[in-house]
Chain A
Amino acid sequence: MAKALLFILLSLATLPVFAQKKFTINGTIEDAATGEKLIGATVKIKEQPQNGTITNAYGFYSISVASGTYTLVYTYIGYQPVEQEVVLDKSHAIDISLHAKNELTEVVISSNKPNNDNVASPQMGEEKLNMAQINEVPVLLGEKDILKTITLLPGIKAAGEGNTGFYVRGGASDQNLILLDEATVYNASHFFGFFSTFNSDAIKDVTIYKGGMPAEYGGRLSSVLDVKMNDGNNKDYTVQGGLGLISSRIKIEGPIVKDKGSFMISARRTYIDLFLKASSDSTIKGSSIYFYDLNAKANYHFDDNNAIYISGYFGKDVLALKNTFGTNWGNSTGTVRFNHLFNNRLFSNTSIVFSNYNYAIEDFESDNYFKATSQITDVNFKEDLQYSMTSNHTLKFGLNVLHHTIAPGDITTNSTSSFNDVSVEQRYGYENAAYVSDDWRVNSKLTLLYGLRLSGMFLLGPGTFKTYDAAGNTLTSATYSSGQLVKDYFNLEPRISASYLLSDVSSIKASYNRNTQNIHLLNNSTSSTPTDLYVMSSNNIKPEIADQVSTGFFENFKDNTYEFSAEVYYKWLQNQIDYKDGAQLIVNPDVESLLTYGTGRAYGLELFFKKKYGRFNGWIGYTLSRTELKFAAINNDQYFPATQDRTHDLSVVGIYQLNKRWSFSSDFVYGTGNAVTYPTGKYEIGGLTTFSYSGRNGYRLPSTNRLDIGATLEGKEHKKYHSSWTFSIYNVYAHRDPYTITFRDSKTVPNTTEAVETSIFATRIPSVTWNFKF
């Protein structure tokens, strides 16, 4: 079936041009200073305002129009626009370099008109953050962090205070597809989620899709977070870095061959360890706790039509208690991409992607010695094609063959240990997909982005595969040989969004999309622990399915300086996963017997008001939402609020550029507390006070709120180097946000019980970072 689809796609791509007298302009848009390709830059034809295109992930664009004389306008946020006149009597290749504006000149230059892309584009539920903005927003301990910044957007919620886990439109945190240069990052957190694996220095572009996912993305229900690394400066060598309270970082980039190829290496390491050395406790003193990240990328452009990109990430967390116990976990990814231009309208990218997540837990005591390991490894082949068919049709199509190897758990021990060696069978499978989509500018008012994705899941032997009844008893057990098909699932995923311009500055949009998910995270803890266990859809686990409809109103004010949007969405969820009581997930060959399945629904309203330009900019985001789940085995088969259900969620972000040297920023967040289960009574069992419960998640943690402020002082201008200081205060008014509430026998009043609230950042946390560049 996938083959047939591919055949259709390829035949479509080779169709002759419909309009005979059309010519094509194609090329790349890059930063004039560094040669970094600009993603999502706009190309417009002044004489035909309805026609235009944007650059793809490699800075490539292609646009076809009838012969004539035109003025092309190239724009990108934060850059000075360029206008280029072109006499179109034949096809042209035009590469454009745009100059970045510094913040101050931006205020002064009035000819630089902000555009209305956000209104005109049919894409819904998409948020793009530019790195300059991310770098301004104050964060915990001065570690600027894209994952924490995206949780300040409507519809995206932090999993917990200081936690980089996030929930998008009510989806669970494993329902986000997190891509770093196309490689899946399975665990995007360091140190239990207080920091993310993304070192901002190395990141060029961040886009998150909350809904209306383009057909080229698939495999997760809730969102796609597409993170792209910097290519590296292809003009000059630069070194930049920073010294912070808990970590230091350094980045080196430069040309391999000037204007043809470049490299970038970026590294970060924490030194939280130093705090341990100050401890009076000898065990803590001898312990280690740190993480590091390494990003590297290189590219080379052979000629105008061929380019290669190689990028990789490696990160690890290490945590050990002296002579007692240790754990480490980390991701590694590698991507090799080859860009090829078949002709001036057909762009191809071929990728081979590697991704791995693994963890190890070790007990060093001889009588309890063991080492438990687990990992997931992906090898992914992707072919993506983009065909600028006519001036109002851009086709994207491609296919994807993704092989998973999951080693759920292995334990190795020694002869004096209390434990045996155990090895849970590895699991193998393919997640394959083919897709096609068309960006169709129907007329000057209506634009459609529609597509279809076919996904196939193939679980393969070797191994013994069991099925279980609702109670978790084994029903059948069968042994499969290597490569033998155990179970397959096919899903058709339609994706469609449309925008209709009401005026130059306002539009309505609507979208529908279906997403499916065949790889599921099992972790019955809400905090980000390293012991993530992934399972594929199987005889027992069906693919998770989400159907989402959304519609919205978009309007810009004052020459597109202000943006306003209101979106509503409704999502139906099928085949959701929860756990039975007493589930022991780690190194358990029968882990699928511990699962229970249900449905869910999520709906909400998102309001967003943003000032994009000027000395003072920022945004206000508000979400009103509900997320409910329903499981036969839980809460008497009645809907209950999911942990991530948050009725109100408000974020306010403001950035103010005082003068050339000083800028200030601030953010404020408010949210309804997580849904939790509290006791409704107590009794005594085994001599212990025990709590009784009725229903799931019937209570709320108190609401959370917090104000952070930050300031940046740019150093005096030097020819050779530049430095800056970043100051921040996290939780300015020292609010106690409850992290958990637990129940216990009172420590003060005998024979009674009490509720105890734990807060983790109940105090003001100042930080300072020194940044340099030369």
Chain B
Amino acid sequence: MGTKKYKFYLVALLISITALSCTKVIDLKLGNVAGQLVIEANVTNANGRQFIQLSKNVPFTNTNTYPPVTGATVSVTDNQGNTYPFTEGPAGSYYSTAFAGVAGNTYTMTATTNGTTYTASSVMPALVPLDSLTFKKNAFKSTNNLREITVHYQDPPGIANQYRFILSVNSVQVKDIFVLNDAFSDGRYVDFDLVENDTDIHPGDTATVEMQCIDKAVYTYWFTLMQQQFNSPGGEVAPSNPPTNITPVCLGYFSTHTTQRETIIVR
């Protein structure tokens, strides 16, 4: 169930009523634990060059540019005996030759850098078709004639499914994280409202949604990030690095997932 949505409503109501809240940008002295390895590894069901990125984190006060980790040895194997070596393209970006992940196969990523070998496994879930996208008046910003996007799909009954959605408006990725599992909607035809707090969607905008079917560990990873991202006044759980499926522990994740895209012109 999209608990995020309801928290969002509660908090928005609360703020609109107190009408006394205010925000300002402040300077803070923050600690500096930089130079930690970040691995972002994805294998999708789309036939093409798969991509793994190795980088390092930086202090909060730096610009958003992250040093690449070069010269690593990166590969992915599957439980069918195939090995897919990844070679470094632009610094820190590692590419395979073209292949497509197959539902039900277990993929294992291995990355060796600076004398340490990092591994992670992920099972490619079966594809659940993205039925359609629709738009409707944004319930909360209705007066401003803004829109929100709804994703529609048929959840398959009897198996646990996890989904991640990436929303882009006019080709700019919306910064909200959307993940959902079927704990409350197994076997249902699902209408999932992408309630976001990052941008305004107007009539005439082009909205694109990428739907990913992800495995459980990766769902927990994104769900944790989503909980932290939605930091309502009053505070939520103390944030921490989301639980990774990579050992030894580093920042990032390894995900095998399906991918589908749908675009809609908002009216």
Task: Give chain A's interface residues, CB within 8 Å of chain B.
Answer: 160, 192, 272, 275-276, 279-284, 287, 289, 319, 321, 323-325, 327, 361, 363, 367-368, 370, 372, 411, 417-420, 422, 524-529, 579, 581-584, 586-588, 634, 643, 676-694, 696-699, 736, 739-743, 745-746, 751-763, 765
Contact = CB atoms under 8 A, between A and B. Distances in A.
Interface residues of B, number: 84
Interface string B1-26: 10101110110011011111111111
Given A289-B13, A321-B140, A678 B31 contact: yes
B78 interface: no
A524 B10 contact: no
A573 B39 CA distance: 39
A640 to B, nearest CB: 9
Contacts of A411: 1, 184
A185 to B, nearest CB: 21
A283 B184 contact: no
B203 interface: no
B86 to A, nearest CB: 18
Contacts of B236: 524-526
Contacts of A752: 63-64
Interface stretch (B105-113, B119-127, B218-226): B218-226
B225 A687 contact: no
A740 B235 contact: yes
Contacts of A736: 22, 24
A706 B104 CA distance: 60
A684 B66 contact: yes
Given A289-B13, A420-B184, A682-B57, A756 B26 contact: yes
B237 to A, nearest CB: 5
A740 B63 CA distance: 24
A692 B235 contact: no
Interface in B242-267: 242-243, 251-253
B60 interface: yes
Interface stretch (B43-51, B93-101, B189-197): B189-197
B185 A419 contact: yes
A761 B20 contact: yes
Given A420-B188, A681-B36, A694-B33, A582 B1 contact: no
A745 B198 CA distance: 11
8 contacts: A282-B142, A321-B9, A325-B6, A327-B10, A526-B234, A581-B242, A752-B63, A757-B23
A694 B58 contact: no
B130 to A, nearest CB: 15
A753 B177 contact: no
Contacts of A272: 17
Contacts of A321: 9, 13, 139-140
Contacts of B63: 751-752
Nearest to A417: B188
Contacts of B202: none
A737 to B, nearest CB: 11
B80 interface: no
Given A525-B236, A742-B231, A422 B184 contact: yes
Contacts of B241: 692-693
A691 B60 contact: yes
B117 to A, nearest CB: 21
Contacts of B38: 683-685
Q: Enumerate the 5 nearest inter-chain pairs by beta-carbon distance, A residue then B residue, closest first.
A: A527-B234, A367-B191, A582-B224, A683-B57, A680-B33
Contacts of A755: 25-28, 30
B66 A418 contact: no
B32 interface: yes
B16 A527 contact: no
B239 A418 contact: no
Nearest to A324: B139
A746 B61 CA distance: 11
A743 B224 contact: no
B26 A757 contact: yes
A745 B229 CA distance: 12
A281 B142 contact: yes
B71 interface: no
B55 interface: yes
B161 to A, nearest CB: 13
Given A740-B231, A760-B18, A677 B238 contact: yes
Given A370-B1, A418-B185, A581-B240, 14 more contacts: A192-B14, A327-B6, A368-B191, A584-B3, A587-B1, A679-B239, A680-B31, A681-B58, A684-B66, A685-B253, A686-B222, A696-B240, A699-B30, A755-B26
Nearest to B15: A760
A681 B28 contact: no
Contacts of B79: none
Contacts of A745: 64, 175
A420 B241 CA distance: 32
Contacts of A693: 239-241
B223 A582 contact: yes
A741 B28 contact: yes
Contacts of A327: 6, 10
Nearest to B173: A687
A420 B185 contact: yes
A688 B16 contact: no
A759 B21 contact: yes
A746 to B, nearest CB: 8
